[in-house]
């Protein structure tokens, strides 16, 4: 099968925002496709018209775009195998449903939901472990297998609602070769006659997915593990449709679990977990409820992707940082693990911090300026770039650099703990001396300032552990931050001096000396 062109699809249903597990599935599909020079296709599985959510489709497309996952073909892109929205392929499915009925591999079923319910209850009462519509029970139901041809025809003609069910053989071993899990064998007696065509004229996932994958020439189906149990039905469908030889290969991905180890991550988890489950922020159009996203929480797409890639996959080396390009090169389905994994928030922070620090001051400033503006700070780009240069070492997310807000406003408050610990009786006179030193520095560079101040402190045997925090307190209002010499060099001599004066005045007014 390696001669076949690799074509994979990501096929979400637009029932809400994509969550991070979905993004990971898309990513693995994309990586696999690109690794093998293949196509990545986006197909929208909207066969359940009742569950459609406004904006979901756009959200999916925007999420992939934010991550840098490019669609080669599909919704939002076009291509030769369209339409790529299943609701627009209705007629195609109908044709194949008929074909399956004609070949005796599917049948009409007229049972109402009440009748189905009754059947299940009856079986439950009879202590049948798994009540299902199968080779045995179908004999007792209303379908084209039990009804006469005339009856079926008249029911159909009268417009009575019907579904189409696959006729699962009674005794047959169905073998699935999964790239990640190896051979999985399921006996057909454990599978029920799944509905493949609904009474509303739409196919169910099972049939639509098989037909589309075939028609779209999909070579590999890479999807979540939750699909493994229904894969035998899909395999049967390929066989009944006569496509067995061209059946795609399967790879069922382990699931992303909740951090408490209880179940798979789901859209419903929203923000309950202490981290976003969505790539982008989302507002539910019905309830108006808002959910945060990685993008809005300050994650970089490259960090998000790197994190996601490593949840269930690893390159087999000790390298941890991979660009999308590098992921493509390193990726293989064989190196995808079998067991579910939990999102590691701490490590996610670490990744983001790494990517933040890898950015140039210019890039950082571009991202930081909007945040500054939101907080009513303005400054010219060059200045912000320098601030970023000083703050980037201590930030995980862009907004963390707001910690250095004192670069943009004079301090009006002074960190209480530091005041208590460091503001002593002698502080005003230490500062007065320091002020003179600072004023006398001609070339106002960090190195110069440092040398002058340290010389002065040494010469007069003044505690550096007192003088420096005092200076920081007066100029910044806080007890910690980047090198104070760097800070005041950036602030400039004039600003530094005037801050010292202003702060001194404020402190003398408000703070008692310890």
Partner RNA sequence: GGCCCGUUCGGCUAGGGGUUAGGACGCCAGGUUUUCAUCCUGGUAACAGGAGUUCGAUUCUCCUACGGGCUACCA
Report the residue number, 208 or 369, with the smaller CB distance to RNA: 208
Among 378, 440, 480, 514, binds RNA (CB under 7 A): 480
Report the residue number, 242 or 316, with the smaller CB distance to RNA: 316
Q: Helix 464-476 and helix 427-440: axis angle, to 10°?
A: 80
User: What residues numbered 27-66 form the site for RNA, per CB under 7 A?
Assistant: 45, 47-48, 51
Burial 53-77 (b: 16+ CB within 10 A, else e): beebbebbbbbbebbebebbbbbbe
3-state SS record for 203-270: ECHHHHHHHHHHHCCCCEEEEEHHHHHHHHHHHHHHHHCCCHHHCCEEEEECCEECCCCCCECCHHHC
Cβ atoms of 499 and 411 within 8 Å: the answer is yes
Among 184, 281, 367, 379, binds RNA (CB under 7 A): 184
Measured distance CA(229)–CA(191) in Å, rounded: 9
User: What residues numbered 118-177 form the site for RNA, per CB under 7 A?
Assistant: 129-130, 132, 161, 163
User: What residues numbered 403-462 form the site for RNA, per CB under 7 A?
Assistant: none
Among 181, 359, 456, 493, binds RNA (CB under 7 A): 181
Report the residue number, 173 or 374, with the smaller CB distance to RNA: 173
Range in contact with RNA (rule: CB under 7 A) among 220-228, 267-275, 363-371, 494-502: 220-228
Q: Does 498 bind RNA (CB under 7 A)?
A: no
Among 111, 212, 213, 269, binds RNA (CB under 7 A): 111
Residue 55: left if φ>0, alpha if ψ -120 to 50, beta else—which one? left
Q: Which two tokens stand for residue 280?
A: 């982008």
Residue the block writes with tokens 């994650």: 299
267 is catalytic: yes
First to last CA, the chain: 80
Range in contact with RNA (rule: CB under 7 A) among 69-77, 99-107, 151-159, 467-475: 467-475
Report the residue number, 238 or 343, with the smaller CB distance to RNA: 343
Q: Within a 10 A sphere around the Cβ of 473, how many other Cβ atoms?
A: 23
Among 78, 104, 285, 337, binds RNA (CB under 7 A): 337
Range in contact with RNA (rule: CB under 7 A) among 95-103, 138-146, 374-382, 466-474: 466-474
Range in contact with RNA (rule: CB under 7 A) among 24-32, 261-269, 273-281, 376-384: 261-269
Cβ atoms of 34 and 71 within 8 Å: the answer is no
User: What residues numbered 301-330 form the site for RNA, per CB under 7 A?
Assistant: 310-312, 314, 316, 318, 320
# binding residues, RNA (CB under 7 A)? 79
Report the residue number, 48 or 296, with the smaller CB distance to RNA: 48
Q: Does 87 bind RNA (CB under 7 A)?
A: no
Q: What residues contact residue 456 under an 8 Å CB cut-off, 6+ apart?
A: 433, 434, 437, 462
Catalytic residue among 90, 198, 217, 267: 267
Nearest Cα to Cα of residue 295 among 77, 62, 71, 55: 62
Among 116, 123, 281, 506, binds RNA (CB under 7 A): 116
Smallest distance from the beta carbon of 310 to RNA, in angstroms?
Answer: 5
Active-site residues: which are they? Answer: 267
């Amino acid at each position: 099968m390696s001669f076949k062109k690799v074509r994979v699809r990501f096929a979400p249903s637009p029932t809400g925002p994509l969550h991070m597990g979905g993004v990971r599935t898309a990513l693995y599909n994309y990586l696999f496709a690109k690794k093998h020079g293949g196509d990545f296709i986006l197909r929208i599985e909207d066969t359940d018209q009742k569950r459609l959510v406004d904006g979901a489709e756009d959200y999916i497309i925007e999420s992939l775009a934010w991550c840098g996952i490019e669609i080669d073909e599909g919704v939002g892109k076009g291509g030769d195998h369209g339409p790529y929205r299943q609701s627009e392929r209705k007629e195609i499915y109908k044709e194949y449903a008929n074909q399956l009925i004609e070949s005796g591999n599917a049948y009409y079923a007229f049972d109402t939901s009440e009748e189905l319910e009754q059947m299940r209850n009856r079986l439950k009462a009879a202590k049948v472990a798994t009540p299902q519509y199968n080779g045995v029970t179908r004999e007792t139901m209303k379908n084209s297998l039990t009804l006469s041809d005339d009856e079926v025809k008249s029911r159909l003609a009268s417009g009575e609602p019907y579904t189409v069910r696959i006729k699962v053989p009674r005794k047959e071993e169905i073998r699935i070769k999964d790239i990640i899990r190896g051979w999985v064998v399921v006996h057909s007696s454990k599978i029920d006659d799944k509905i493949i065509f609904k009474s509303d004229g739409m196919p169910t996932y099972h049939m639509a997915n098989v037909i589309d994958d075939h028609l779209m020439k999909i070579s590999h189906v890479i999807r979540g593990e939750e699909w493994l149990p229904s894969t035998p039905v899909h395999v049967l469908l390929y066989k009944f449709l006569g496509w067995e030889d061209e059946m795609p290969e399967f790879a069922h991905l382990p699931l992303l679990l909740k951090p408490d180890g209880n179940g798979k991550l789901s859209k419903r988890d929203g923000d309950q977990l202490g981290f976003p489950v969505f790539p982008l922020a989302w507002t539910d159009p019905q309830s108006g409820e808002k959910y945060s996203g990685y993008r809005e929480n300050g994650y970089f797409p490259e960090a998000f992707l790197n994190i996601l890639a490593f949840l269930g996959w690893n390159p087999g080396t000790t390298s941890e940082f991979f660009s999308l390009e590098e992921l493509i090169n390193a990726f293989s389905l064989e190196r995808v693990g079998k067991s579910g994994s939990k999102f590691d928030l701490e490590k996610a922070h670490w990744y983001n911090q790494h990517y933040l620090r890898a950015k140039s001051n210019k890039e950082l400033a571009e991202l930081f300026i909007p945040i500054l503006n939101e907080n009513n700070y303005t400054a010219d780009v060059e200045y912000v770039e320098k601030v970023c240069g000083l703050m980037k070492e201590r930030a995980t997310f862009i907004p963390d650099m707001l910690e250095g807000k004192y670069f943009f406003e004079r301090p009006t408050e002074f960190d209480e703990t530091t005041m208590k610990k460091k503001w002593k009786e002698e502080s005003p006179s230490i500062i007065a001396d320091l002020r003179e030193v600072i004023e006398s520095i001609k070339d106002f560079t960090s190195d110069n300032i440092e040398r002058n101040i340290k010389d002065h402190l040494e010469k007069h045997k003044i505690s550096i552990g007192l003088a420096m925090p005092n200076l920081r307190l007066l100029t910044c209002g806080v007890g910690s931050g980047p090198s104070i010499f760097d800070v005041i060099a950036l602030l400039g001599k004039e600003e530094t001096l005037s801050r010292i004066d202003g702060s001194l005045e404020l402190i003398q007014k408000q703070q008692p000396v310890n």
